Amino acid sequence: MFHSIKAKVITIFSLVMIAFTSVLLLTIFINERDRVLDLALENSTKISKMHANLLSQEFARYVVMLKMLSNNPNTKLGDKPTIARQLKRLMTMGRGNFINAIYVDKNLNLTDVLGNTNKVTHPSFMRAEQWVGKQYNISVPVITRFEKTPVIMVGVPILDTQNNWMGTLAVAVPLTIISAKLAEIKLAKESYAWLTDSNGLMVSHPNKSFIMKNKLSMTENADYPGFYKIVRQTKLQNDGYGRYMDATLNESKIVTFSKVDYLPGWTLFVTTKESEIFHDIYTIMYDVLVTSIILMVIFLLLISELSNRITKPIVQLTKDVKASVKDKKSYLKIIDSDDEIGQLSKAFHDSLQKIHSHTTHLEQMVNHRTQEITDKNLLLNQQNEKLEQLASKDPLTLLYNRRAFSALVDKEISRAKRHHFPITLVILDIDHFKKINDEFGHNVGDDILCRFADELSLNMRKENLICRWGGEEFVILIPEATSTMVFKHIEEVRQKISQMSFSPVEKLTFSAGIATLRVEEPFKEWFQRADSALYQAKGAGRNCIITD
């Protein structure tokens, strides 16, 4: 059988083609499968981290809202109308993310935005001593008397000037909001995101029967073999990935996870079917296999007559194909022939082109995802800047608030000492402002405050720091100016404002106290001197300025 050259060529050719096709498919499978898996895991991990950061920033935004409103002086005094307005404002600022807003006083009496009242008994509400050293608290999901569905309670303490606990301001975030946000996370068609709290309880999952019922386990589960290893990873790492078998569906799945920084102990998972990740490469490999088998049959039928002509092209073709498989930049040259060798060459060329094209497409998709993450980070930075502005500005007059002014004044004092120039403090108080509120109402009073603040801003240099200290009291820090220089300017402002129209108020005046910083004088003593000068101005009949 093997004595003829033709028989030997046919036999050898058959063995070579079988080996070649097997090597080609195996090489494609090993190289491309690992590459696709690495790209998918990298992409999924980035998506997990990105959305964990977004979820963390979302809860950080809630805490900033609560802190901003908890600093209201009337809220600290337990003024019920103010508290009712603050609760309604929280619901508006939440943009539909809150199902309720509540206030708890120091006697554990609870009032919600709808006016419902109750005595706090649930252990998730922190008491006085529990707030020591904590700026906020985010509870695990609970079911309260007012909310019939599971909610996450986000709360901040209300503290007096001695940092004693006076109450709690909180909002209730329903789990349905979290689930809606996680439903938008997609890696592949069949992928999904889910969330567990610090106790390992599932608080969000596409399968609603799991929510508030299933907990993560560090022991083997017959329905999900291998998943316990991923759970153990979550105890040791902030992010990672793993594989497990879903025995209920007889499918292999890949999971990536990332910790949510602002929710200690909470973990975000993204689950994807392994078959989804490798679907395209399996299709290409099947096409290559079918094409190879068809071409091999055709070549075997014609080899007896074409053995002498095809020996040399086959050798060259084998070399070119191997080179193209190893290096995607090395394209397979099509043999210029109308016979089966030419067809085989073209078929391999087209198949490898598809494989290279698919690989390039995957790389472009990863680059696109990377750009999306960059854009999300830019958006997060912009949102953080907006939050910082909200935390530092008075919401009514848009001047610096007391907290921001206290932070900036230290920098200005250090600068003045370093460059040896004077710095002066002015404290202003609108005369008879309570009478304006009583006679015309708080809306008119707020309008007067805004117009007064605008006038102060128009008449001050941009280097000056203007702050609404509280109520109708304003503080101005003027660098590179002595009391004499400041007195002259503030007197001009006082005369100007007293002649302006602040309808419906017949006439608006203010009193002011001025003090220049002394050598090595603490800010508290400096402020007290300016405040004492203000009270002297009030005692002198108001509508005047006193310099210390």
Candidates 243, 282, 216; CA nearest to 33 is: 282
Bond into 422 cis (ω within 30)? no
Task: Give pLDDT, residue 534.
Answer: 96
Please give the backbone phi and psi of residue 466, each rounded to the nearest 5 degrees, phi first: -110, 130
Nearest-angstrom CA–CA distance, 173 and 149: 10
Task: Give pLDDT, residue 314.
Answer: 67
Task: Give pLDDT, residue 274.
Answer: 80
Q: Answer with the residue of higher pLDDT: 423 or 120.
A: 423
What band does 308 get if pLDDT is binned at 50, 70 and 90?
low
Q: Angle, to 10 degrees, between the axis of helix 5-70 and the axis of helix 340-392?
A: 10
Q: Which domains does the chain have, with CATH numbers?
A: 1-70+278-385 (no CATH), 71-177 (3.30.450.20), 183-277 (3.30.450.20), 402-547 (3.30.70.270)
Please say if the pLDDT value at position 2 is more than 60: no
Spatial strand order of the sheet with 165-174 comes to 117-119, 109-112, 100-105, 165-174, 151-159, 137-138
Helix residue ranges per DSSP H, 100-242: 175-182, 227-236
Task: Give pLDDT, residue 544.
Answer: 96
Nearest-angstrom CA–CA distance, 478 and 205: 57
Q: Answer with the residue of higher pLDDT: 421 or 29.
A: 421
Task: Give pLDDT, residue 451.
Answer: 95
Task: Give pLDDT, residue 115.
Answer: 87
Q: Answer with the residue of higher pLDDT: 526 or 36.
A: 526
What is the SS3 assignment for 237-286?
A: CCEEEEEEEECCCCEEEEEEEEECCCCCCCEEEEEEEHHHHCHHHHHHHH
Please give the backbone phi and psi of residue 166, each rounded to the nearest 5 degrees, phi first: -110, -10
Please say if the pLDDT value at position 497 is more than 90: yes
Please say if the pLDDT value at position 32 is more than 70: no
Nearest-angstrom CA–CA distance, 237 and 230: 10
Please say if the pLDDT value at position 346 is more than 80: no
| pLDDT per position as a tens digit, 381-430 | 676 666 666 678 999 999 999 999 988 999 999 999 999 999 999 999 99
Please say if the pLDDT value at position 4 is more than 70: no
Average pLDDT, the chain: 83
Please say if the pLDDT value at position 331 is more than 70: no
What band does 343 get if pLDDT is binned at 50, 70 and 90?
confident
Average of pLDDT values for 49-73? 87
Candidates 68, 22, 14; CA nearest to 289 is: 22
Task: Give pLDDT, residue 45.
Answer: 81
Average of pLDDT values for 523-542? 95
Count of C-beta atoms within a 10 Å radius of residue 129: 7
Average of pLDDT values for 474-495? 95
Task: Give pLDDT, residue 14.
Answer: 72
Q: Answer with the residue of higher pLDDT: 457 or 22.
A: 457
Nearest-angstrom CA–CA distance, 348 and 75: 76
**With contact defined as beta carbons under 8 Å apart, do 88 and 78 qualify?**
no
Average of pLDDT values for 459-479? 94
Please say if the pLDDT value at position 153 is more than 90: no
Of 75-89, 120-134, 210-224, 481-495, which has the strongest mean pLDDT?
A: 481-495
| pLDDT per position as a tens digit, 264-290 | 888 999 888 887 776 666 676 677 777
Average of pLDDT values for 39-45? 76
Handedness of CA 72, 78, 81, 85 (dihedral sign): positive
| pLDDT per position as a tens digit, 157-168 | 988 888 888 889
Long-range contacts of 442-449 (CB under 8 A, 24+ apart): 444/504, 444/505, 446/396, 448/502, 448/505, 448/508, 449/396, 449/397
What band does 376 get if pLDDT is binned at 50, 70 and 90?
confident
Candidates 56, 37, 34, 41; CA nearest to 271 is: 41
Q: How far is CA 99 from the centre of its chain?
A: 21
What band does 147 get if pLDDT is binned at 50, 70 and 90?
low
What band does 379 get if pLDDT is binned at 50, 70 and 90?
confident
Residue 429 burial (10 A CB sphere; 0-12, 13-18, 19+): buried
Please say if the pLDDT value at position 336 is more than 80: no
**Amino acid present at 50:** M
Task: Give pLDDT, residue 541.
Answer: 93
**With contact defined as beta carbons under 8 Å apart, do 490 and 475 qualify?**
no
Q: Percent of the chain scored above 70 by pLDDT?
A: 83
Task: Give pLDDT, residue 75.
Answer: 82
Average of pLDDT values for 8-33? 71
Task: Give pLDDT, residue 279.
Answer: 65
Task: Give pLDDT, residue 440.
Answer: 93
**Amino acid present at 440:** F
Long-range contacts of 25-31 (CB under 8 A, 24+ apart): 25/285, 25/288, 25/289, 25/292, 27/325, 28/281, 28/284, 28/285, 28/288, 28/325, 28/355, 29/281, 29/285, 31/325
* Distance separating the N- and C-terminal Cα atoms of the chain: 121
Task: Give pLDDT, residue 386.
Answer: 67
Task: Give pLDDT, residue 411.
Answer: 92
Spatial strand order of the sheet with 267-273 comes to 202-204, 192-196, 267-273, 251-259, 239-246
Please work out, in degrees rounded to the nearest 5, the angle formed at the alpha carbon of residue 523 by the alpha carbons of 521 and 524. 105
**Amino acid present at 422:** P
Determine the 3-state secondary structure of 115 from DSSP: coil
Q: Is 472 a catalytic residue?
A: yes
Q: Catalytic residue, from 472, 473, 492, 525: name it.
A: 472
